[in-house]
Structure 1
Amino acid sequence: MNLVSRYIIRQMAVMAVYALLAFLALYSFFEIIDEAGNLGRGNYGGWEMAQYVLLQMPARAYELMPLGVLIGGLIALSQLASGSELTVMKASGLSTKRLLLILSQFGLIFAVATAVLGEWVAPSLSQRAENIKASAVHGKISAGASGLWLKEQNNIINVREMLPDHTLLGIKIWRHDDCHELVEAAEAERAVLNADGSWLLKNVRRSVLGADKIDISETVEESWPVSLKSSLLDVLLVDPEQMSVAELTTYITHLENNHQQTQTYEIAWWRKLVYPVAAWVMALVAFAFTPQNTRHGNMGLKLFGGICLGLAFHFAGRLFGFTSQLYGIPPFLAGALPTIIFALLAVYLIRRQEKR
């Protein structure tokens, strides 16, 4: 990588980071306003709210990365153009093909960063944020790698996971007496939440501890009159957008095996797979909207058009996700079509720009 390449990439990367930080600050401000309504519920205070907002930032950065790349790239390239630096570089032998290669390297850096955030950093921190909030608000739950733990009177309950239809999987229940000695343990394969708040346990294996023996029994199903609200279990429902590709793959297989709807998760899977490419595409879109000749006075207009286009992309992914479920659009198209459309648009605008 020569001096010119490093200079262009550094200028664009700095502006992209600045744009990303500005968007994160704006999103965090609105999130704080939204979370302020929960202050005072249970033990949810200012410190818990700050933790929640900070831990959600990697997920927000993942969502905003292509937009930050586009706006940062637009600003940096426009500054180079307004200072005639691009003109000097081209006069010195920098071809459009070489410039596009430099932009591709810049986009690839942020594409890798997007993939790292979406696959390893954001999912775990977002789940941790939801756990902190749920534990603070409700006060008697704790969630971790082993599922959700709840304390209800003399019962300690562990639920491994919950399907989108609120079916519970992997339930374990331990009951102790007033002296905190274990008197009964039960394990159920699954449970269904009844309208009255009770649980219908299925394939139950129960062990009752007696004075000198343990009585073991098995039942196909039984009703358990627990008084827990279903909202306490919502922490187990992970937003598909906050899951990694590996988690989505495992979860889709699990839902298929249990004859559950998978379209929402398949759309999220394709979107996760293609989304890092969007950061690279936005680097090319930034070049397509960069004025090559500042004498025409259209720099501000092109900058505004590029920013509007980036915002359109940001909201297009969600719009395609909703409409695909309404109209039966294949998950691949719903997840990948916005990126494909913007990639084709970038190629068209660059070719049109070069013909002038």
Structure 2
Amino acid sequence: MKVLHRYVAREIIGAVIFALVAFLALFAFFDLIGELPQVGRGNYQLQHAFLYVTMGLPGYVYDLMPIAALIGSIYTLAQLAARSEFTIMRASGLSTGMASWMLARVGIVLVIVTFLFGEFIAPTTSAMAEKWKLQAQGASVSQEFRTGLWTKDVIRQNGLTGETIGTRFLNVKDVTPAGRLQNVKLYEFDRDFHLIAVVTAAYADYQASNVWRLSDVTETSFSTRLSDITATISTKTLPTRDLVSEITPNILSVLFADPDRMSAYGLATYTRHLAENNQTTERYEIAFWKKVFYPFAVLVMMALALPFAYLHFRAGGVSLKIFIGIMIGVSFQLLNSLFSHLGLLNTWPPLATAVLPSMMFLVIAIGSLWWVQKH
């Protein structure tokens, strides 16, 4: 039985890799076509476009792995059925449960690979690709916003710890690819939302441990409410000033990143930051739970492929079965994306929004397997 497991696993993995490479080539071609109009902008040349597209491929590996697993499994099982090998396996004592476990063992390996790409490889390469592209074009990541980048922070008594004593709004005109903040403005309020200080700086560089170093600083302080006729205003200039903030370069990068390209850890960190600042978190919570459960969609897709092994070749050629597999995979991706938007619009529980598409297809897989066994 071990020899049989190795044989089937080798066939499935080979077919999955072939399907995945075919999809990656197709998506890379379309991405390269989309990048061509930007070639020549600044120092962005054709080789930069090739590099940018290549760095985006790990993200597609993560997205396409369930579909590739489905198509590869259907192709392998259909071929085994066409050559009557699967019939011989069943006659030799291979039960449905054993066949399911045989696929599950391969699926677990693919789940681990998908998780590694989604959690570590794709977020890193996607961020590097965007950084290199901006550097080549000589652009900054916040130029598309008319008033710059806005974000919210809390002011604590002892820096990062202690009681919350106020709220800070940060406005940045530009963020360079290297992470420097340019034309920085800080608006600080007390707990009653009375303006207590306005700080401007030419630029800010991240040091470490949640510390930003502001340069060419002008600080205007208000001793009481602005509406109070007795309010006193004082202004001072400083060459540098350190600012302790919960906002880090990683959090700022989230504002420009696609949540589906972030790691689960990054999503959890940013969701916690939003919750502490009383901001909506639903979009990032849905993305977090999708990131957690999406790799297991590989197992669901392979479960959908198993009934094809029980269909005799005359019930449909291998090409037809592969076409059906592609349609199932595309339907899963569309439904998964649709549920994300519906969950966000209808405020569904993020966990349920992320899990429901996979659960629906798992029920279909179980029902299909029961049907082919009965007929």
Relative to the length of structure 1, the TM-score reads: 0.76
Following superposition, the deviation at residue 297 of structure 1 comes to 4.2
Distance 1:338 1:297, change over 3 A: closer
Question: Could you tell me which residue of structure 2 aligns to residue 72 of structure 1?
Answer: 72
The gaps in structure 2 that reach 5 residues or longer are 154-166, 174-181, 189-197, 203-214, 223-234, 236-251
SS of the residue aligned with 2:44? coil
User: Aligned partner of 1:238: which letter?
Assistant: A
| Alpha carbons 1:107, 1:281 under 8 Å: kept | no
Question: Could you tell me which residue of structure 2 aligns to residue 167 of structure 1?
Answer: 150
Q: Specify which of 338, 343, 353 is matched with residue 334 of structure 1.
A: 353
- C-alpha distance in 1 between matches for 2:255 and 2:128: 11
Question: Could you tell me which residue of structure 2 aligns to residue 252 of structure 1?
Answer: 271
Following superposition, the deviation at residue 295 of structure 1 comes to 3.5
- C-alpha distance in 2 between matches for 1:220 and 1:191: 16
Aligned pair count reads 302
Question: Could you tell me which residue of structure 2 aligns to residue 53 of structure 1?
Answer: 53
Choose 339-348 or 285-294, whichever is displaced more.
285-294
Choose 67-76 or 41-50, whichever is displaced more.
41-50
| Alpha carbons 1:39, 1:45 under 8 Å: kept | yes
Question: Could you tell me which residue of structure 1 aligns to residue 24 of structure 2?
Answer: 24
Question: Could you tell me which residue of structure 1 aligns to residue 170 of structure 2?
Answer: 191
| Alpha carbons 1:281, 1:339 under 8 Å: kept | yes
| Alpha carbons 2:184, 2:200 under 8 Å: kept | no
Note if 1:219 corresponds to 2:220: yes
Question: Could you tell me which residue of structure 2 aligns to residue 156 of structure 1?
Answer: none
Following superposition, the deviation at residue 348 of structure 1 comes to 1.2
User: Aligned partner of 2:129: which letter?
Assistant: A
Question: Could you tell me which residue of structure 2 aligns to residue 317 of structure 1?
Answer: 336
User: Aligned partner of 1:319: which letter?
Assistant: L
SS of the residue aligned with 1:33? helix
Deviation string 1:123-156 (CA, Å, 9 cap, x unpaired) is 011011111111212x165x9xxxx9x9xxxxxx
Q: Specify which of 284, 289, 294 is matched with residue 270 of structure 1.
A: 289
Choose 267-276 or 197-206, whichever is displaced more.
197-206
Following superposition, the deviation at residue 264 of structure 1 comes to 1.0
Deviation string 1:105-138 (CA, Å, 9 cap, x unpaired) is 111111110011111111011011111111212x
- C-alpha distance in 2 between matches for 1:40 and 1:280: 44
RMSD: 3.2
Q: Specify which of 293, 298, 303 is matched with residue 279 of structure 1.
A: 298
Deviation string 1:224-253 (CA, Å, 9 cap, x unpaired) is xxxxxxxxx989511111111111111000
- C-alpha distance in 1 between matches for 2:291 and 2:201: 44
- C-alpha distance in 1 between matches for 2:93 and 2:112: 30
Choose 330-339 or 70-79, whichever is displaced more.
330-339
The gaps in structure 1 that reach 5 residues or longer are 151-161, 171-187, 209-213, 223-232
SS of the residue aligned with 1:289? helix
Distance 1:336 1:25, change over 3 A: same
Distance 1:3 1:309, change over 3 A: same
User: Aligned partner of 2:19: which letter?
Assistant: A
Deviation string 1:61-81 (CA, Å, 9 cap, x unpaired) is 000000000001111111111
SS of the residue aligned with 1:191? strand
Note if 1:106 corresponds to 2:106: yes
Question: Could you tell me which residue of structure 1 aligns to residue 372 of structure 2?
Answer: 353
SS of the residue aligned with 1:237? coil
- C-alpha distance in 2 between matches for 1:49 and 1:92: 54
User: Aligned partner of 1:334: which letter?
Assistant: T
SS of the residue aligned with 2:220? strand
Distance 1:200 1:354, change over 3 A: same
Distance 1:206 1:290, change over 3 A: same
Choose 8-17 or 260-269, whichever is displaced more.
260-269
- C-alpha distance in 1 between matches for 2:96 and 2:6: 16
- C-alpha distance in 2 between matches for 1:217 and 1:192: 15
